[in-house]
A and B are shown apart, each in its own frame.
Chain A
Amino acid sequence: MNNCAEIQAALSAYIDNELTSLARGKIQQHLEQCEDCRQHLSELNRLATAFKALPKLTPAPGFLADVRRKIAGANTTAKHWTDHTSRVLWWKISLETLAAVGIFLLVIRFAHFPVGKPAAENTATSAKPASGAVAVSDAKSRLAGNEQMASSVEKLAPKRLIGGTRAPVVESELKAKSNRISDALVIRAKDFAVAEQQVQEIARAVSGQILPRRVSPGKSNGFTEVLHVELPVENLDLFKSRLESARLLSAADAGQPATAAAQSEAGRLGMAGGRIVVRIQVLPPAD
């Protein structure tokens, strides 16, 4: 390590203090005599200082909640499609769902701007827009006049899947189901804000969270405010018992053990280990 090129190549490790003391000593010796290499070193140091001055960015608030939502969403589908064959199937179905959606869009387009034979009237589509099977078969008859288009549609979506019941079960639907309210509770508190705070702490302790607040209409039934808490289904009992310990939920108000129902619904939706939403109505104290 004698010439400037070698010295300069080693300066990066030098500023990081990642050199042996021998190599370090050689560089220091050289630097004392070499203006060029000192300049090089000062530029590298300046770069390092500039890195330190880069603004430290903070993730947006709600980062954790988003992570939790993603985990919950991932679980609902992942439980279904764990083994390899299922994954392949899922992938195929996803593609075929896309194809089905494509056909549906075609149907809508042709319903408005028919390009095939005018004999294919706009009947079934408008009558039953919700039924995939009817809409698709109608689309095929509508497209019958256009050979080229029809064959491309056949290629796009194999017949066996048209109108199939599995294709529409897409992730967004599972997500929507997982956000469905699975249980409802009534708690009693003098002060809503205090109760909200307590519920939040209890929810957090059972890996749950209060969802963004919806302001409820203040109707005559003394109904004041409602909180929605999202939590893992298996923690529902724990959550309730903690609400009871905090004297927010009385055994009477807990009512029927809705847990079983919630769990069976979660099971039906394939949400084992998934998250549910509990609606909590906050009422003034009963006495």
Chain B
Amino acid sequence: MERVLNSDAGTTASDQELLRRFRGGDESAFDDLVLRHQQRAFNVAFQLLRDHEDATEVAQDAFVRAYRNLNSFHGDCEFTTWLHRIVVNLAHNKHRWWKRRGKQASVSLDASLESFGTVDAQMAGASAAPDLQAVKAEFVELLSQKIKELPLRFREVIVLRNVEDLSYEEIAAVLKCSVGTVKSRLARGREALRKSMRAVES
């Protein structure tokens, strides 16, 4: 995006700088924030919902909410942390909305992790020796199927960690929970995922 009139606004302005400009009345600073973080917001929403349309809606609504609540954002965490929190909350709302309308986007939305582990091997036969280095395309495809079945509270920590590369502390800040909770949910969620992938593969 070219900016002729606001040439002082370099592309490297920090989020804080953009927020400061936005609060000072520079609406285009908000546009820059959206452009900078739209992919992140959309990607997280997509990984949580696995639905293109709903992810778009959630990511856009997250920015609308951010716009309307920027004054209550006091910078006690990173803007991205705050944005992630809004996206995750809206994804939860969307989930509840699905639930009320009986949309079974997630097979085991209410299923316990215990039952999650016993996935039937409908795709059995596509076996492959575990390979540390190369991950086959089918394995990645299988993963994207299996994420869907993971309960949301586990999915969100895994997505924030493995897709967004957030630290445990950052994830705890996003979800407003303790680092210990993040750690245990990650361990349990990954274990469930590992088992279910294995059940299909072997």
Contact = CB atoms under 8 A, between A and B. Distances in A.
A39 interface: yes
- Give the interface SS of chain A, mostly helix, strand, loop or mixed: helix
Interface string A27-53: 000000000000110111111111111
B168 A18 contact: yes
Contact of B34 (A9, A12, A64, A205): A64
A67 B60 contact: yes
A202 B3 CA distance: 9
Interface string B165-201: 0011000000000000001001100110110011000
A236 to B, nearest CB: 13
Given A12-B186, A207-B27, A54 B42 contact: no
Contact of B5 (A13, A57, A242): A242
A205 B28 contact: yes
Contacts of A173: none
Interface in B1-54: 1-6, 27-28, 30-31, 34-35, 38-39, 42-43, 46-47, 52
A54 B140 contact: yes
A58 B31 contact: no
A207 B3 CA distance: 12
Report the contact-size class of chain B (Cβ under 8 Å from the partner): 35 or more
A202 B2 CA distance: 10
B113 to A, nearest CB: 13
B34 A63 contact: yes
Nearest to B162: A51
A74 B130 contact: no
A67 B65 CA distance: 10
Contact of B27 (A39, A43, A57, A232): A232
Contacts of A47: 143, 162, 190, 193-194, 197
Contacts of A60: 56
Interface string B113-144: 00000000000000000111101000110011
B105 interface: no
Contacts of B132: 42, 45-46
Contact of B130 (A12, A43, A205): A43
A65 to B, nearest CB: 10
B4 A70 contact: no
B91 interface: no
Contacts of B60: 63, 66-67, 70
B61 interface: yes
A44 B187 CA distance: 10
B12 to A, nearest CB: 19
Contact of A204 (B31, B55, B139, B168): B31
Interface of A: 8-13, 16, 18, 39-40, 42-54, 56-60, 63-64, 66-68, 70-71, 74, 78, 201-202, 204-207, 232, 235, 242
Given A16-B186, A43-B194, 15 more contacts: A10-B187, A49-B133, A51-B158, A54-B144, A54-B163, A59-B39, A59-B42, A60-B56, A63-B34, A70-B64, A78-B68, A201-B4, A205-B6, A207-B27, A207-B31
Interface of B: 1-6, 27-28, 30-31, 34-35, 38-39, 42-43, 46-47, 52, 55-56, 59-61, 63-64, 67-68, 130-133, 135, 139-140, 143-144, 158, 161-163, 167-168, 183, 186-187, 190-191, 193-194, 197-198
A-B pairs, 10 with minimum CB distance: A207-B27, A51-B162, A12-B187, A59-B42, A205-B5, A50-B143, A67-B63, A53-B140, A70-B64, A49-B135
12 contacts: A11-B187, A13-B186, A39-B130, A45-B132, A46-B135, A50-B140, A52-B162, A53-B140, A56-B43, A57-B43, A63-B34, A64-B35
